[in-house]
Amino acid sequence: MSKDLKDFFNNQFDEHNRVASNCQKKLQSSFLNLIKICLSSLKRRKKILFFGNGGSASDAQHLATELTVRFSENRKAIPAISLATDTSALTAIGNDFGFDFIFSRQIEALGDKDDVAIGFTTSGKSKNIINAFKTARKKGLKCVVFTGNYTRLVSGFCDEIISVPALNTSRIQEMHILIGQMLCNALEYKLGYSHLVREEK
């Protein structure tokens, strides 16, 4: 392996570790509030709606599946939906109304008061995510955004902001899935379905 690639390998891990350390220092209170918001909704027999674009669409699908199926142990299903997976809905809304409304239209149809809308936008500027939050607000849903440093366009619509202190999209996405999986594990635990998962030593 060339020296350039060896340096790249080590630098990427160093950057990841710096961002993870900063998240650990800055996001604990936001994470605890995220758990509180989701638990309050689930205990009222409501659901969590996840949505995002590109890699964030995969995160939305991943986390919804962790909740509806299982995270660490077999248990009662936790109600969650990814709004990024129905190709018929996405293409019909995109064609008939425009791409900026692919999530807001689904929230208009499926969202109920006190559900939780969790949107992922690494840039903090995605119009379809912002429109989704606007619709969710009108319908009385709780709103949480997973984003990067830039929060100005989403802050007015959200009950909690998971703002990763980074500019590199890759690092932001890595923290999003880490915190998202922590969310799933914590919800299982607080609902009495499982223990908190720790790495065996």
List domains and CATH numbers for the chain: 3-190 (3.40.50.10490)
pTM here? 0.96
The whole-chain average pLDDT of the chain stands at 96
Mean of pLDDT values over 125-151: 98
Q: How confident is the model at residue 199 (pLDDT cuts 50, 70, 90)?
A: confident
Per DSSP, the three-state class of 116 is strand
Phi-psi domain of 124 (left: phi exceeds 0; alpha: psi -120 through 50; beta: other): left
Q: How confident is the model at residue 104 (pLDDT cuts 50, 70, 90)?
A: very high
Which residue's entry shows tokens 């692919």? 102
C-alpha angle 122-162-65 in degrees, rounded to nearest 5: 80
pLDDT tens-digit series, residues 157-181: 999 999 999 999 999 999 999 999 9
Stated as kind and residue range, the H or E segment containing 133 is helix 127-139
More confident residue, 167 or 73: 167
